[in-house]
Amino acid sequence: MSKLSLDRILQSQGFGTRKYCRALIEDGDVAVNGDIVDNYKLSVETDGLVLTVFDEEWVYRERVYIALYKPANFECSRKPSHHPGVLTLLPEQFGWRDVQPVGRLDHDTTGLLLMSDDGPFIHAQSSPKRHVPKVYQATTAEPVTPELVAQLLDGVQLHDEPAPLRAVSCVARGDKGIEIVLEQGKYHQVKRMLAAAGNHCSALHRSAIGGLTLESLGIKEGEWCFLEQAQLDLLVPST
């Protein structure tokens, strides 16, 4: 149980500055569990709270955990330079509450991207010590040979890495397709591993992180959804 003043609550949910949130409340644009409240100082229980702002319902969440089906041509960086940022695919509130990607996908990679405003969660999920398997489908420029699969499983040396990096699993999918499971998240890792093994990645898609699959989430390209605890529990290391 925790109570906060209504202006603080609105601000925490990403509706804007404290001043703006106070004005919204005083203008009668905010309802608390269905009743309009125009006193921004009112102390409100956040547990189970449903706000209505401009006639739109908003369930209070102390922190948000989001799965986005990232399309190509969006950047994960905080200051995107050549393409729009992934935050532009989410409601504006998430930018105000500092939602960030958990790790990164390249601008041309599609698939499952986690996002959150929970700093410790982002940190823990991105830690190199946390070996959560990530499943990628790559399309290659050259045919996928048994030798390529064997090389990726044995480990390939990337020029700035102290030791060879290996795939946890690797399966050919048709002539120029390969499913690669990695436990690390090094910069351009799939593309660089394929290049180091003598092929070239022409398209890349991430279909799962741990036991959380895009398919199970049922979201389409460009769509997002909140993740609940049972889904977060699937983001577990393999060992």
Residue 51's DSSP bridge partners are: 32, 58
Beta carbon nearer to ligand URA, 156 or 190: 190
Q: Quick one: 93 or 207, whose CB is closer to ligand URA? A: 207
Residues binding ligand URA (CB under 6 A): 105-106, 109, 188-191, 204
Beta bridge partners of 142: none
Q: How far is the CB of 147 from ligand URA (least distance, A)?
A: 21
Coil, strand or helix at 74? coil
The 3-state DSSP class for residue 92 equals: helix
Phi, psi of 21 (to 5 degrees): -65, -40
Output the 3-class SS for 29-40. Answer: CEEECCEECCCC
In the complex, least distance from residue 18 CB atom to ligand URA, rounded to whole angstroms: 38
Nearer to ligand URA, 8 or 186 (CB): 186
Nearest to 9 by CA among 128, 39, 78, 34: 39
Instruction: Report the alpha-carbon distance of residue 15 to residue 13 in Å, rounded.
Output: 6
Per the CB < 8 A criterion, the answer to whether 126 and 111 are in contact is no
97 or 188: CB nearest ligand URA: 188
What is the 3-state secondary structure of 172-195?
Answer: ECCCCEEEEEECCCCCCHHHHHHH
Of the two residues 52 and 126, which places its CB atom closer to ligand URA in the complex?
Answer: 126
- Reply yes or no on whether 106 is catalytic: yes
Q: What value, to the nearest 5°, has the Cα angle with vertex 17 and ends 13 and 20?
A: 105
Choosing from 27, 38, 106, 118, the catalytic residue is 106
Q: Which residues are catalytic?
A: 106
